[in-house]
Amino acid sequence: MTTQTLMIGQTLWFEGDAMQIGVEAARYNRRGALLIEGGKVVARGEAETLQTSYPQAKVVDYGEGLILPGFVDSHMHYPQTRMIASWGKRLIDWLNSYTFPEEMTLADPDEARARADLTLDLALAHGTTTQVSYCTIHPCSVDAFFEAAATRGMRVFAGKTCMDRNAPEGLCDTPQTAYDQSKELLAKWHGVGRAEYVITPRFSPTSTPEQLEALGALWAEHPDCLMQTHLSEQTDEIDWVKSLFPNAKDYLDTYETFGLLGQRALYGHVIHLEPREADRLAEVGAAVVHCPTSNTFIGSGIFEAAKLASRGIRVGLATDTGGGSSFSMLRTMAAAYEIGQLAGTALHPAQLLWLATEGSARALHAQDRIGTLAIGSEADITVLDLASTPAIAQRHDRANDIWEAVFPTIMMGDDRAVKSVWVGGVQVQPK
């Protein structure tokens, strides 16, 4: 007989798309509970009711702690963990000055594993239970990330980053090796435990048409996989794409031409879209990922989350480590709020929490497993202390409802607000 754990506290989850219907999608219980068994949520409701129904369950009472789905970081680069918060530079200079030299070091399997361990531990400390990561061109970097995640029981998504031009020689493969190695890694890892492989061209400027075509062919052979890349992050990047693909209709067309547009596609940043591009993303059901701290840190522009969501486009939220300036999804939500204000649409706390949990899970086609507290979902759970610092506590004490109570933690919180983290029904943080 498996052990049952009854987790008690304030509970919050969603039944519906909060970007579409707002706060009405949220379900809040002042004194709620989750029953965890076999790594999954098997019951949820009022604490008193579940305590009566399951008297033999082990009780973990978080008091005023807010029990949420674990945060889902839907776009990041684990090789860049050590270079986070590096000064200055636009995107292309950033890649050449910081990113590419750092990625070269992951040719060493020991360094790759150390970086993966560091990244995943930092994620868990900040309440993030799932990451979607770009690796490097080195197959050992993919192995290291999936192996490190497996030891922690985490559901993660990742893939070999493919490039065959406009990058240092030590970071370039070929169309054939990109296809062959990606296929081998996919066969090795996809669907093994909680690992999911993602086909990963970095972006059009670093892949020749031949390589994009090869990766499009691989995706066509494995349509159940996700495909991730970057799109329309900066205006000078877009000009570069136009010079490299003079016959393309626009940036998105450089992917679509080679079979890299579809329902299971994830496009990071997506700031400077042409109307046709937005239309095509909506038509095919592709997802876009908002990376707000990165967009401000590198000076990329204003992502219009509410506008894209109103088109029915699935929107995820992400740290974009290390272009992003924080490992925290709380800080990422705060930045999304600030950018929403600049875009003319203030996102409600319910919408911010939804983007960081079920919204990102939906972008990954994984909302039946993660980013939710639904019965049958995997028990990846984050518990927040809503009064973790004196500054937050004094504002929390004046709150009139759950949204006024949680918003100061969204805006001012960090890893100190993370009271506990559970992965697959096992408490992993604090250790």
Cα–Cα dist 51/399, whole Å: 28
- The pLDDT tens digits of the residues spanning 343-394 come to 999 999 999 999 999 999 999 999 999 999 999 999 999 999 999 999 999 9
**Of 290, 381, 391, residue with least CA distance to 333:** 290
Q: Which two tokens stand for residue 91?
A: 């995107």
Residues 239 and 274: their CA atoms lie apart, in Å, by 13
Q: Do 75 and 8 belong together in one domain?
A: no
C-alpha triplet 61, 30, 336: angle, nearest 5°: 100
| Residue 311 covered by a domain | yes
State if pTM tops 0.95.
yes
CA distance 68 to 29: 11
- How many domains does the chain divide into? 2
10-residue mean pLDDT profile of the chain (431 residues): values are: 91 96 96 98 98 97 98 98 88 86 96 98 98 98 98 98 96 98 98 98 98 98 98 96 98 98 98 97 98 94 96 97 95 98 96 98 98 98 98 97 98 98 92 51
The CATH number of whichever domain residue 195 belongs to comes to 3.20.20.140
Look up tokens 């990102």; give the residue: 360
What six digits make up the tokens of 135?
Answer: 């690796």
Q: Are residues 58 and 171 in the same domain?
A: no
Q: Write out the residue range of the structural domain in which residue 34 sits.
A: 4-70+371-429
Nearest Cα to Cα of residue 31 among 70, 68, 5, 66: 66
Reading the block at residue 185, the tokens are 């890694």
Task: Kindly state the tokens that stand for 302.
Answer: 């204003």
Nearest to 386 by CA among 417, 412, 411, 416: 417
359 lies in some domain: no
Give the pLDDT of residue 90.
79
Judge if 278 and 398 occupy the same domain.
no
Q: What is the pLDDT of residues 41-81, one digit of tens each?
A: 999 999 999 999 999 999 999 999 999 999 999 999 999 99
Per-residue pLDDT of 78-95, as tens digits, reads 999 999 998 877 778 888
pLDDT of residue 23: 96
Predicted confidence at residue 89, as pLDDT, reads: 79
Is 355 within a domain?
Answer: no
* AA letter at 130: T
Tell whether 51 and 79 lie within a shared domain. Answer: no
Residue 262 pLDDT: 98
What integer pLDDT is reported at residue 1 of this predicted model?
59
> Residue 122 and residue 115: Cα distance in Å, rounded?
11
Same domain, 130 and 76: yes
The string of DSSP letters for 109-174 reads HHHHHHHHHHHHHHHHHTTEEEEEEE--SSHHHHHHHHHHHHHHT--EEEE-EE--SSS-GGG---
| Token duo for residue 136 | 């490097």
Kindly provide the b/e burial profile for residues 117-141, where b requires at least 16 CB atoms within 10 angstroms of the residue's own CB.
bebbebbbbbbbbbbbbbbbbbbbb
CATH code of the domain covering residue 39: 2.30.40.10
Strands 156-159 vs 195-201: parallel, antiparallel or unpaired: parallel
Please check whether residues 231 and 265 belong to one and the same domain: yes
